[in-house]
Amino acid sequence: MSQAATEIVRISGHAGAVPGAGLNREYQVCKLVDTTTCIGCKACEVACLEWNGYTFSETTFDNTYQTMPETSWNYWNLIKFNEHEREDGSMMLLMRKDQCMHCEDPGCLAACPADGAIVQYANGIVDFQEQHCIGCGYCITGCPFNIPKFSPAAHKVFKCTLCSDRVSQGLEPACIKACPTGCLHFGTKPEMKELAETRAQQLREHSGYPDAGVYDPPGVGGTHVIYVLHDAKNPERYGGLPKDPHIPVSVQLWKHPLKWLGNLALVGGVFGLAWHYMRYGQKKEEHLPPDDGRRV
């Protein structure tokens, strides 16, 4: 992403072609989370907190490995632990690193009314610009993944940045850096997609997971965080990963047909009333009561 600004396409007084110009650079970044090799160590959570300057949040105990129910405004990255019973009765622990999915078609951005509070970079990262956030919480409504979280102290909403600050400097996100099993990968979208598909195929053909697949939901135009799942047919099992996420229908109705209908009605109303005034004029108190003047 940062390199895009310094990539040379024309050179003055230069004989011949521009070296390197016209190469099809891929700027779209992607994080790949392979849930099948995650051990739930939470190193990614700690790395996230460290890099972003937050302290560890208080944990809650609910008889499972789950340390807290969901991400929060100062805890952007959380492993969701789900105990799943296989058909033969044996237990399987499904672990999914939950964070912002960085949708290609972000619902938070569509719902946001504040100028510049949410931006999408050319590399696909969807970033909140808190200095422009007004704290209305519409992004919470627009998100199909339950990611934006409101800070009662700041009256603003926060979420994972996919380490946009690190990525802009050519570094990989902090969580990737910390993963000890290599279940987290970071690269360009096509590269990650290919790696994920290869892994899913391996799981299907050699590891006894016939339903293994890649989670890159088309309902939100694909995401810049993709998962390899043992059972891609039931993503809900992985801590409520939606099967077919999309921007909520009511948000779409609100931002498209209602907006144009409403604007048309408002402008039409003003013109309609002005027309009425010019056509019919004022209502005047012309009539005097018949007993007027006759009364004592």
Partner 1 sequence: MSTHAVSRSTAAGQNDEMIPRYTLGERVNHWIAALAYAYLLITGLAFWSPYLFWLAAIVGGGAVARFWHPWLGLIFSLSMFWMFGEWRCDMQADDSDCVWFKNIRYYIQNEDDKLPPVGRFNYGQKLFFWGMFYSVILLLLSGVALWYTEALPWSLRYVRYAAILIHASVALITIGLFMIHVYMSVFLEEGSLRAMIHGAVTRAWAWTFHRKWYEAVSGVSRSKQ
Query: Cβ of residue 296: shortest distance to partner 1, in angstroms?
Result: 8
By CB under 8 A, which span of 12-20, 41-49, 131-139, 177-185 interacts with partner 1? 131-139
Nearer to partner 1, 93 or 273 (CB): 273
| Contact between residue 42 and residue 99 where contact means Cβ atoms under 8 Å apart | no
Write the burial class of residue 69 (CB in 10 Å: 0-12 exposed, 13-18 middle, 19+ buried): exposed
Hunting for tokens 């044996």 — which residue is that? 90
Site string for partner 1, 173-192 (x = CB under 8 A): --------------------
Stretch that binds partner 1, among 6-14, 194-202, 205-213, 249-257 (CB under 8 A): 249-257
Per-position x/- string for 137-176, each x denoting binding to partner 1 as judged by CB under 8 A, each - no binding: xx-xx----x--xx-x--x---------------------
In angstroms, what is the minimal distance from the CB of 123 to partner 1? Answer: 24
- DSSP result, 21-37: TT------EEEEEETTS
The DSSP-derived string for 66-104 is -SSSS-BTTB--EEEEEEEE-TTS-EEEEEEEE----BS
Cβ neighbours of residue 255 closer than 8 Å, sequence gap 6 or more? 110, 111
Is residue 248 a contact point for partner 1 (CB under 8 A)? yes
* 15 near partner 1, rule: CB under 8 A: no
User: How is residue 11 written in tokens?
Assistant: 């050179």
Please count the residues of this chain forming the interface with partner 1, following the rule CB under 8 A: 51
User: Residue 121: which of 135, 133, 104 has the closest Cα?
Assistant: 104
Q: Which of 33, 38, 100, 133 binds partner 1 (CB under 8 A)?
A: 133
Return the number of other C-beta atoms located less than 10 Å from residue 52's C-beta. 17
Distances, alpha carbon 171 to alpha carbons 163, 195, 254, in Å: 9, 20, 39
Query: What is the closest distance, in whole angstroms, from the C-beta atom of residue 27 to partner 1 in the complex?
Result: 26
Find the binding residues for partner 1 in span 266-295 (CB under 8 A).
Answer: 266, 269-270, 273, 276-277, 280-289, 292-293, 295
Told to check if 136 binds partner 1 by CB under 8 A, we report yes
We find the least distance from the C-beta atom of residue 284 to partner 1, in angstroms, to be 5
Is 57 within 8 Å of 187 (Cβ atoms)? no
- Contacts with partner 1 by CB under 8 A lie at 70, 111, 113-115, 132-138, 140-141, 146, 149-150, 152, 155, 240, 248-251, 253-254, 258-259, 262-263, 265-266, 269-270, 273, 276-277, 280-289, 292-293, 295-296
